[in-house]
Structure 1
Amino acid sequence: MLKKLFGFDERVTTVRTEVMAGITTFLTMAYILAVNPNILSTTGMDKGALFTTTVLASAVTTLLMAFYAKLPFGLAPGMGLNAFFAYTVCLGLGYSWQFALTAVLIEGLIFILLTVTNLREKIVDCLPMTLKHAISAGIGLFIAFLGLQNAGIIVKNDATLVGLGNITTGPALLGIIGLVLTSVLLVKRVKGALLIGILLTTVLGIPLGITHFSGVVSTPPSIEPIFCQFEWHNIFTKEMVVVVFTFLFVDLFDTIGTLVGVTTKAGMVTKDGKIPHLKQAFMVDAIGTTMGAALGTSTVTTFVESAAGVGEGGRSGLTAFVTAVCFLLALFLAPFFLAVPGAATAPVLILVGLMMISSVKKIDFSDYSEAIPAFLCIVFMPMAYSISDGIVLGLMSYVLVNLISGKYKKLTLGMYILAILFSFKFLM
């Protein structure tokens, strides 16, 4: 039964191993229950409703991953994508969060069509292995940068664009303390180090006047304020087309980057660079994005922290099933998660960035035709504050550098096509 439901193979794993792996994955992902409401509520969305929606979107899509794709990965509203939703589309471009949710819904439906036609798999296959490693590392830097900003450790500086904030007081000090505590837990290899780090930092924020508790257990807040809140009258506007295209572009390569990063870090990529059950995983991601928009959250995607569960021995959908059950149990802890300040989640973002950047070790820096495009891909993600820009510039430079230097045999037709299409991003 377990084999039929989850792809469980008793020759390579055990039920106990899968259960422990699922719990480990949840413990490393659980910070999203505090971080996602913090980020999206900056747009004016109801924070309590966002918590419930984050739990439901994470649980349901992770269950789909367990039963349909049969892979040991957890899903939740993606880091970077939620930041793009809040800080770029809403706060930067000035659109309402209802407008942004409508754009997410449309791009989710489009992604379902792209998955059915295998186009997303073909795009993944077109990316050279060097850039796959670089994407994971670049996303790591981007997420770490977000964490440093959220805690006020890195702040705006008119002379140098960014600079070090006042780390001797307030949220920045709490973030530094939390970073040290969580780092020690990781060094000691404590299970659930990231979640424990959030808990300790949150408690330490009470005497500093940063954390304000109103309880721990309660019935889940209603999602009514954000459920199916779409702006249908804006579907055919030029503004919607631009935002949907941007979401498509960012989501496409964020998802590819995260999924490639997770499987690469977990050692699940085959020798010829293929990812098992990739189409099913993409379909779960596409359905999750569509459903998440209806529930009232940004794009749902596979989490790199799933590699923690794989590292514990998780190899089937049973791991994902256990993770989903843990999410549902967390549904009744809304007051606690909503009381967690941004300074308490910032250390986790910084350390997750560390976990993702480790794939940079697999890049051949002795070969400049590989190293230069990889470096550009990595550095442009945090510097341009855009994951998609990093991927675009990385692939375009890979094609140009190798073509002009006479190493065109390394290039495929798909790489040329993608490079040409990418150039339109800067021409539109």
Structure 2
Amino acid sequence: MKSILERTFKLKENNTTIRKELAAGLITFLTMSYILIVNPSILSTTGMDKDALFTSTALAAIFATLVMALYAKLPIAQAPGMGLNAFFAFTICGAMGYSWQFALTAVFIEGLIFILLTFFNVRELIVKSIPKVLKDAIPVGIGLFITLIGLKNAGIVVANPSTLLALGDFSQHGVWIAFLGLLVTAILFVRNVNGSILIGIVAATLFGLILCDVKLPEASIISLPPSIAHIFAQFEWDHILSLNMVIVVFSLLFVNLFDTVGTLIGVISKTGLADENGNFPQMKKALFADALGTTVGSILGTSTITAYVESASGVASGGRTGLTSVGTALMFVLALFFAPLFLMVPAAATSPALIIVGLFMISSVVKINFSDMSDGLPAFLTIAFMPFTYSIAEGIVFGMLSYTLIKVCTGKFKDVSITMYVIGVLFLLKIVLDALHLY
């Protein structure tokens, strides 16, 4: 076994060992395992079975991470992406009013398109054609959107007929459960404790137990994984040719594209395997692993799969090869049999994770030049429309459309790529059709 692992992952060549790689895999799991709690919590708001979602989340993470490990041979774990799951639940199924089956179909189509784009090397071309200012603005908007969801789930922010939003009722236990979890997570993160988000969720859940808001599993904490029969391959093809399906698939493609590429470049740069431009030999294989993971994940019944930036914790601990990812996948396999523990966590206890991830995502706002109106306004609209319309898609639509219109009307034609012109026309057509109620 030792020689097989050496030949497969070239451990000596990468100056690492089996023990170091597996330990790094464990650390990566600890930093990202919160997704086993948060993803079912978010997607279950669409009517999907929460127990089944736990299993599908774990299975999708296992499959996608193993493809990354064995095909791309990189120390990067994959799972359903934060922000992308919110888009699935609160935009496609919430604001747009479609069924979760429609949303799964969109994810499946996105995965297939990504496989083709990766095979023909189109992904890199798309990345280069989108203006950098919008690439920087989209994560900021998603971060604010995710934060709003977290505050809403905890009851910290509530609806108000006069002001739209208002501060929640602080006599509700959920508010204090969320605040405790947020405080614990922040303190541990400042102290560089691995798994700080997961520990924060655990602390909040224990506090919920003390307040009698959480019930312990009635049976054993160890059990067979819940069935995914209710959500497995549940596709809906009725609206496959609609313009809304095109917009949804494009939005999924766009967000996932830059999320994955950004994560890959950021994490791999820490291994010393990337050049000064962030390129590395396994880029195409890594993108293929992401695309294949998304396609299979939709069949299993979960939202878009993406590379996790938390993989950087494993890399920082010495992970250098795909064996690190194998270790992470094995931990997800083990977690499958502890579903009762993960499923007892209340929504309020997952709120700190959403708020912290939102904080991480807004960091790119410092890269935006707001003094240039032709860049600043489209970026601002992208950021503002996501939380205020409760839709990631609307933020992308109005951000990209305003960018194209402002640049063209001010004579800055060279700043707009052909791809942006095409996208702008499609988005303008959608807005007109919406206004005329033609579809």
Within the alignment, does 1:329 sit opposite 2:315 as a pair? no
Within the alignment, does 1:244 sit opposite 2:245 as a pair? yes
Offset at residue 225 of structure 1 (A): 2.6
Within the alignment, does 1:394 sit opposite 2:399 as a pair? yes
Offset at residue 348 of structure 1 (A): 0.8
Within the alignment, does 1:146 sit opposite 2:119 as a pair? no
Distance 1:409 1:103, change over 3 A: closer
| Greater alpha carbon shift after TM alignment, 153-162 vs 10-19 | 10-19
- Distance in structure 1 (CA, Å) of the matches to 2:78 and 2:13: 25
SS in 2 for 1:206: helix
Distance 1:346 1:309, change over 3 A: same
Aligned counterpart, 1:78: 81
Q: Answer yes or no: is the 8 Å Cα contact 2:153–2:347 preserved in 1.
A: yes
Q: How many pairs does the alignment contain?
A: 424
| Greater alpha carbon shift after TM alignment, 44-53 vs 335-344 | 44-53
Among candidates 105, 109, 117, match of residue 106 of structure 1: 109
Offset at residue 8 of structure 1 (A): 6.0
**2:254 maps to amino acid:** F
**2:259 maps to amino acid:** T
Offset at residue 346 of structure 1 (A): 0.6
SS in 2 for 1:221: coil
Among candidates 21, 24, 29, match of residue 26 of structure 1: 29
- Distance in structure 2 (CA, Å) of the matches to 1:98 and 1:35: 20
Within the alignment, does 1:259 sit opposite 2:260 as a pair? yes
- Distance in structure 2 (CA, Å) of the matches to 1:400 and 1:348: 37
**1:227 maps to amino acid:** F
What is the 5 A alignment of 1:157-306? Answer: 157-214=160-217, 215-231=220-236, 235=237, 237-238=238-239, 241-242=242-243, 244-263=245-264, 265-266=266-267, 268=269, 271-272=276-277, 277-306=282-311
- Distance in structure 1 (CA, Å) of the matches to 2:399 and 2:98: 29
Distance 1:362 1:19, change over 3 A: farther
Distance 1:137 1:44, change over 3 A: closer
- Distance in structure 1 (CA, Å) of the matches to 2:98 and 2:417: 39
What is the 5 A alignment of 1:305-320? Answer: 305-320=310-325
- Distance in structure 2 (CA, Å) of the matches to 1:243 and 1:86: 15
Offset at residue 363 of structure 1 (A): 3.3
Distance 1:371 1:38, change over 3 A: same
Distance 1:47 1:348, change over 3 A: same
Offset at residue 55 of structure 1 (A): 0.6
Aligned counterpart, 1:68: 71
Among candidates 40, 47, 55, match of residue 52 of structure 1: 55
- Distance in structure 2 (CA, Å) of the matches to 1:7 and 1:376: 48
Q: Answer yes or no: is the 8 Å Cα contact 1:13–1:314 preserved in 2.
A: yes
- Distance in structure 2 (CA, Å) of the matches to 1:20 and 1:37: 27
Instruction: Report the RMSD for the aligned CA atoms in angstroms.
Output: 3.0
Distance 1:16 1:408, change over 3 A: farther
Q: Answer yes or no: is the 8 Å Cα contact 2:92–2:248 preserved in 1.
A: no
Offset at residue 365 of structure 1 (A): 4.6
* Identity over aligned pairs, percent: 53
Q: Answer yes or no: is the 8 Å Cα contact 1:7–1:317 preserved in 2.
A: no
Offset at residue 54 of structure 1 (A): 1.0
- Distance in structure 2 (CA, Å) of the matches to 1:274 and 1:374: 26
| Greater alpha carbon shift after TM alignment, 341-350 vs 181-190 | 181-190
Q: After the TM superposition, which segments of 4 or more aligned residues of structure 1 sit over 6 Å from their partners?
A: none
Deviations 1:297-338 (A, max 9, x none): 222222333344344454443332222121111111100000
**2:31 maps to amino acid:** T
- Distance in structure 2 (CA, Å) of the matches to 1:14 and 1:365: 47
**1:360 maps to amino acid:** V
**1:166 maps to amino acid:** D
- Distance in structure 1 (CA, Å) of the matches to 2:16 and 2:367: 27
How does the TM-score come out when normalised to structure 1? 0.87
How does the TM-score come out when normalised to structure 2? 0.85
Q: Gaps spanning 5+ residues in structure 2: where?
A: 434-439
- Distance in structure 1 (CA, Å) of the matches to 2:97 and 2:84: 17
| Greater alpha carbon shift after TM alignment, 48-57 vs 256-265 | 256-265
